[in-house]
Amino acid sequence: MVQAYHLGRYFVLPTLRKAYGRNTQSADLGPVSVIVVAKNEKPRLETLLPALFQQDYPQFEVIVVDNQSWDGSYELLHEWKAIHPNLQIVAVAEHIKAKPGKKLALTLAIKKAANDILIFTDADCVPRSAQWLRQVAASYSPGVEMVIGYSPYSAKPGILNPLVRYEAFFVAWQYISFALAGRPYMGVGRNLSYRKTAFMANKGFANNLNVSFGDDDLMVQEMAKPQNTAVVLHPDSHVWSIPKHRLADWLRQKKRHLSAGAHYRGKFRLALGTIWLARFAYYLTGVAFLLSGQLHVLGLVLMALPILAAWGLALALHRAHRMFSLWWAYPAFDLPYQVLIYPILGLFSLIKPQKDKW
């Protein structure tokens, strides 16, 4: 019953409404500021910068923060500025001993921004289309102060890649569905937007300066409300990101994400924990019955219904918004992820807390 309630409340209704409902977009495309923080990301900036300046948008600036790089990023940025005057460069001085993380760099960029609508991405990302800025900016309507976007991982060789892509889709589906259901709790800095005025009214990152991470999801926790948050899922609004290809790197990344989750509001930790426990119990019960030989055909069909329903919704999302091309991955990875991988990652983050690193 708990599984069915959460599937309907936070996944079925929001997913179907977003997949097949009418999308309301504003025709007022005011100027926007795109913000990127980079540290020793020269090769990736060489890919990202052309994609940003090819955006089909009437008026925008790009602010890149060179966060104490030593790989030639600063020189590359000045070469681009000579061609594109709407590129603004912010350099974090070498003598500044700030806490690790992006919050100081982001704050400097936000203060420099000339426009109220801020759109964030990372140096290792590339917008799917030249309409990215249009799709995000058009999602703002009166009263909207934050827009949550989608950022899938690109396909790469290796056996880890399908798991990484499944996990990113599942996490995104969950926070997007919650936002559509009126309970926004997180977003990712690879594709996130909010108003400068809202950031300043929130006193920036002052409430979570004690942690180096959480510059995206913890800000959503503080700033997002049902009435001031919009979601954009159009395929042109997606931002591709480079996935981790080594297991150790991916585990470190996931540990950092889970560490941020410990700072979520109690109501969201309770809701997310209940959803996971319901899925864990569902799979564990099914496996136990299978091993005991007591699960007959009818019981097997009943046990399969929730995963088949979730799989169908995932396919509906992909058909409507091109969100998840690995049609086979959801049923293949959901059980091992929910029963084995996620609990291990959670315990790992508790036993050995994430250290403050860039």
Element housing 61 (H / E): strand 60-66
List the chain pLDDT tens, one digit each, 358 residues: 555 555 555 555 555 555 444 455 666 789 999 999 999 999 999 999 999 999 999 999 999 999 888 899 999 999 999 999 999 999 987 656 655 578 889 999 999 999 999 999 999 999 999 999 999 999 999 999 999 999 999 999 888 999 999 989 889 988 998 998 888 999 999 999 999 999 999 988 988 777 777 788 889 999 999 999 999 999 999 999 999 888 888 888 888 777 777 788 888 888 888 888 888 888 888 777 777 766 666 666 666 777 777 777 777 777 777 877 777 777 888 888 888 888 887 776 666 544 545 5
Helix axes 342-351, 247-261, angle to 10 degrees: 70
Long-range contact set of residues 38-41: C-beta below 8 Å, sequence gap at least 24:
38/64, 38/65, 38/66, 38/67, 38/69, 38/73, 38/123, 39/66, 39/67, 39/68, 39/69, 39/358, 40/69, 40/70, 40/71, 40/73, 41/69, 41/71, 41/73, 41/123, 41/124
CATH number assigned to the domain covering 28-245: 3.90.550.10
Q: Which of 238, 21, 240 is nearest to 133 (CA)?
A: 238
Q: How many CA atoms lie within 13 A of 256 on its CB side?
A: 18
Domain ranges of the chain: 2-9+266-349, 28-245
The runs of H, that is alpha helices, within 39-72 are 42-53
